[in-house]
Amino acid sequence: MTRLSEPPHLVWPTAAVRTSYLAGERADCLAEGRPTDWLGPAGDDFDAFVAQRRGVQIRWDVPATIFWYVSGEHYLGTLVVRHRLTPELATAGGHIGYHIVTPWRRQGHATRMLAAGLAECLALGLERVLLTCASDNEASRRVIQANGGVPDGQAHGEERFWITVPPS
């Protein structure tokens, strides 16, 4: 297991983790059968790729903020905060989405990353957030429940949870 020089933390996308980001995302895309064609252009001009992802932007038809979970040169995963819900996001997606790249899984990082993400939600004025996960996603359900997720039913294969954001 790679030792980290500092505790991982959320930052806006940064070129400091270029190598680690591209390797981690490439491996997961290949493993999960997702397209990799975006990685070439991203790697060719990583500064531009990063710049496009920093700050508030419109994604999923709502304002959203992208955070990367990093430690030094290591990229561990991504957490996205959607500042409000659409009817679609209220069914699947919710306010927060996240993933940890495979080499860093099962070490408690997602649980701690979501806790850090909730603090960012508070800074954005969100006091209660919806999270959803596929009914068969045991790991994500555990991450959500470890952070205080209260079940609120399920639909279309997605389980819904509300988290009251704890004060910082």
Instruction: Pull the structure tokens for residue 134.
Output: 């596929």
**Cβ distance 59 to 81 under 8 Å?**
no
Instruction: Pull the structure tokens for residue 148.
Output: 């205080």
Q: Is 88 in the site for ligand COA (CB under 6 A)?
A: no
Which residues have C-beta within 8 Å of that of residue 45, sequence separation ≥ 6?
A: none
Q: Supply the minimum distance, in Å, between the C-beta of residue 11 and ligand COA.
A: 18
Q: Is 146 in the site for ligand COA (CB under 6 A)?
A: yes
Beta bridge partners of 133: 159
**Cβ distance 109 to 70 under 8 Å?**
no
Beta strands in 105-149 (DSSP E): 128-134
Q: Is 108 in the site for ligand COA (CB under 6 A)?
A: yes
Q: Is 143 in the site for ligand COA (CB under 6 A)?
A: yes
Residue 95 burial class via C-beta count within 10 angstroms: exposed 0-12, middle 13-18, buried 19 and up: buried
Q: Please identify, using beta-carbon distances, which residue of 66 and 133 lies nearer to ligand COA.
A: 133
Q: Could you tell me how many residues of this chain bind ligand COA (CB under 6 A)?
A: 18
Pick the stretch among 56-64, 117-125, 137-145, 147-155 that binds ligand COA (CB under 6 A): 137-145
Pick the stretch among 1-9, 50-58, 117-125, 133-141 that binds ligand COA (CB under 6 A): 133-141
* Interface residue with ligand COA, options 20, 65, 71, 140 (CB under 6 A): 140
Interface positions with ligand COA (CB under 6 A): 98-100, 105-111, 133, 137-140, 142-143, 146
